[in-house]
């Protein structure tokens, strides 16, 4: 005990010398370091000059009373956190209440006993020490979380940059003249690259969830359109296994919702991928049903049904846990990180929902989850049915400025953009991007973020400043083309004056869709 308290410093304030000496003797025996003051002004001066762990403050003092001293100390940033115990001969309730209202933590009535004095002093010093330890632990945890977030952002960028080159060049190579044998080899490389990217995404998403970096949008979206996007993404994988992949939405489910469509699709893709992996014949189907609805909100039930191998009751208990699959042989036969279902569970719960499974071994499985959305009553751009979408005028070609310092990623972007028929001007840093924007007047700028000399965010700011100074009627659309995929990064890009975002790695279809979106903005 003495080892832990010997460095605690206590200020005793009392105008009666005998009281000072008695308290000093009692507390010094316990290893406390004691300072004394006989009036209020002296107490304030000493409290500001030295950092005390506790102040014992008499109410009645010759110059200013203890209440005024307490008020002064609590209003000063140097002393406001120091706990104060009042010493008072007053037994009146009002006096005690006033002390607590001013910020005191306790009071000791006079005459006091040695046991009571020690008990109260030890209690509050222990509480203060615990509070300081908690603050230290909190600061340490926050620093660790910040360091982890920075590491995640950096590692995400470093992994996605070379993956962009791999997946992008595979996509381009597929569109060249190849023999049947070469096509087979390229398909194998492509599938391996996509599987690697899926594993990378799983690990990064799980790390982001653990670090508390997952956030959710509240935007309007068309539910049938978003689910049809899931089907499009996974259709090739289903065709490879000769499986029927489909979806059904009950007619009473509202089409227009407000929430995070990307997170919803992420959950559905994870569950569908799981079903496709463990289904060798038959089907995988998404079904959406209405649970509850009112004027403002709707709760929906989503099911991913399959005709796969099914899961035994004992193995169902292992699902939705991190790095866990039904058994070791599952990992050997089907691969994967075992994170997909754990990520889905975390996302569903963050969306105020629940997730589970109905299954029998050998009889398929139904993964189900529910979550809540706001209801949108207005149609909006992008809510049209897929079949009503207007295609980009293929005769309209754009002059595109590409700012990218990585030579491989330059090649990927140039080949993709030129395949779409657009003119491409290439620069490798932000300074050049600003210069060529002014001299060449491009229709669109694709801006990498991490570049030498001047980064993409700063270059965007310079471009927007030039537009404002020159009173340009319509600003040039700037697209962040980057491996930085954290939401806070995307928010930073938009706040910096960018109009859209294309994450690396990307494929030709994603690029074409984004250009179509940008083209529509230009035409408006």
CATH classification of the domain holding 445 = 3.40.50.2300
User: What are the tens digits of pLDDT across the range 179-191?
Assistant: 888 888 887 787 7
Task: Show Cβ contacts of residue 126 under 8 Å, excluding neighbours closer than 6 positions.
Answer: none
In a domain, 23, yes or no: yes
pLDDT over 90 at 382, yes or no: no
Same domain, 394 and 379: no
Same domain, 35 and 79: yes
Can you give the residue range of the structural domain that contains 284? 219-387
Same domain, 431 and 447: yes
Tokens of 413: 């972007």
pLDDT over 60 at 363, yes or no: yes
pLDDT over 50 at 381, yes or no: no
Average pLDDT over all residues of the chain:
82
SS3 for 341-408, per residue? HHHHHHHHHHCCCEEEEEECCCCCEEEEEEEEEEECCCCCCCCCCHHHCCCCCCCCCCEEEEECCCHH
Confidence of residue 447 (pLDDT cuts 50, 70, 90): very high
Q: Which of 56, 80, 112 is the last residue of a domain?
A: 112
Same domain, 227 and 357: yes
- As a whole-number percent, the residues of the chain with pLDDT over 70 amount to 85
Dist. CA 315–CA 329, nearest whole Å:
12
User: What are the tens digits of pLDDT across the range 255-291?
Assistant: 999 998 888 988 998 899 889 988 989 999 999 999 9
**Sheet strands (E) in 242-359:** 244-249, 256-259, 283-293, 297-306, 354-359
Same domain, 9 and 28: yes
Cα separations in angstroms, 150 against 156, 503, 521: 10, 18, 34
503 φψ region: left (φ > 0), alpha (ψ -120 to 50), beta (else)? beta
Confidence of residue 429 (pLDDT cuts 50, 70, 90): very high
Same domain, 366 and 394: no
Dist. CA 278–CA 454, nearest whole Å:
49
Query: For residues 304 and 279, is the Cβ–Cβ distance under 8 A?
Result: no
Query: For residues 290 and 300, is the Cβ–Cβ distance under 8 A?
Result: yes
Give the chain's domain count. Answer: 4
Same domain, 163 and 227: no
Higher per-residue confidence, 523 vs 415: 415
Q: What's the whole-number mean pLDDT along residues 437-450?
A: 92
- As a whole-number percent, the residues of the chain with pLDDT over 90 amount to 32
Same domain, 258 and 364: yes
Same domain, 103 and 78: yes
pLDDT over 70 at 485, yes or no: no
Query: For residues 24 and 31, is the Cβ–Cβ distance under 8 A?
Result: no
Radius of gyration of the chain from its Cα atoms, rounded to whole angstroms: 33
Q: pTM higher than 0.85, yes or no? A: no
Confidence of residue 348 (pLDDT cuts 50, 70, 90): very high
Confidence of residue 195 (pLDDT cuts 50, 70, 90): low
Same domain, 276 and 176: no
């Amino acid at each position: 005990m003495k080892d832990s308290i010997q460095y605690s410093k206590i200020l005793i304030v009392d105008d009666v010398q005998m009281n000072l000496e008695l308290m000093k003797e009692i507390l010094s025996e316990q290893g406390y370091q004691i300072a004394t003051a006989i009036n209020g002004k002296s107490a304030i001066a000493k409290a500001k000059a030295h950092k005390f762990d506790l102040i014992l403050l008499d109410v009645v003092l010759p110059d200013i009373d203890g209440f005024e001293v307490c008020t002064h100390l609590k209003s000063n940033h140097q002393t406001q956190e120091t706990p104060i115990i009042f010493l008072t001969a007053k037994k009146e309730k009002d006096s005690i209440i006033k002390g607590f209202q001013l910020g005191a933590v306790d009071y000791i009535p006079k005459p006091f006993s040695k046991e009571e004095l020690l008990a109260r002093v030890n209690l509050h010093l222990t509480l203060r020490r615990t509070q300081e330890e908690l603050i230290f632990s909190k600061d340490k945890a926050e620093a660790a979380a910040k360091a982890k977030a920075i590491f995640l952002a950096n590692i995400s960028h470093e992994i996605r940059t070379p993956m962009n080159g791999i997946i992008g060049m595979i996509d381009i190579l597929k569109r060249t003249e190849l023999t049947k044998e070469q096509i087979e080899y390229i398909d194998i490389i492509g599938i391996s690259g996509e599987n690697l990217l899926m594993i990378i995404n799983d690990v990064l998403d799980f790390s982001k969830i653990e670090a508390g970096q997952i956030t959710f949008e509240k935007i309007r979206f068309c539910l049938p359109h978003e689910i049809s996007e899931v089907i499009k993404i996974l259709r090739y994988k289903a065709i490879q296994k000769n499986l029927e992949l489909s979806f059904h939405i009950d007619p009473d489910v509202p089409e227009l919702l407000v929430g995070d469509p990307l997170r919803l699709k992420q959950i559905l893709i994870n569950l569908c991928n799981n079903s496709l992996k463990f289904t060798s014949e038959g089907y995988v189907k998404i079904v959406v049903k209405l649970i509850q609805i009112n004027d403002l909100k709707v709760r929906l039930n989503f099911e991913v049904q399959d005709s796969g191998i099914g899961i035994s009751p004992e193995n169902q208990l292992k699902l939705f846990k991190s790095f866990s699959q039904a058994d070791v042989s599952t990992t050997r036969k089907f691969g994967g990180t075992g994170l997909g279902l754990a990520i889905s569970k975390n996302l569903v719960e963050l969306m105020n929902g629940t997730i589970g499974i109905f299954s029998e071994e050998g009889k398929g499985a139904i993964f189900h989850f529910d979550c809540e959305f706001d209801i949108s009553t207005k149609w909006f751009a992008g809510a049209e049915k897929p079949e009503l979408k207007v295609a980009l005028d293929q005769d309209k070609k754009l002059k595109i400025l590409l700012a990218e310092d990585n030579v491989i990623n330059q090649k990927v972007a140039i080949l993709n953009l030129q395949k779409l028929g657009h003119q491409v001007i290439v620069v490798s840093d932000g300074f050049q991007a600003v210069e060529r924007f002014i001299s060449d007047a491009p229709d669109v700028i694709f801006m990498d973020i991490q570049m030498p000399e001047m980064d993409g965010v700063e270059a965007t700011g310079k471009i927007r400043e030039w537009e404002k100074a020159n009173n340009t009627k319509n600003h040039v659309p700037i697209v962040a083309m980057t491996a930085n995929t954290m939401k806070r990064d995307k928010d930073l890009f938009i706040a910096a004056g960018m109009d859209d975002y294309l994450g690396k790695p990307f494929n030709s279809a994603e690029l074409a869709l984004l250009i179509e979106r940008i083209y529509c903005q230009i035409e408006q």
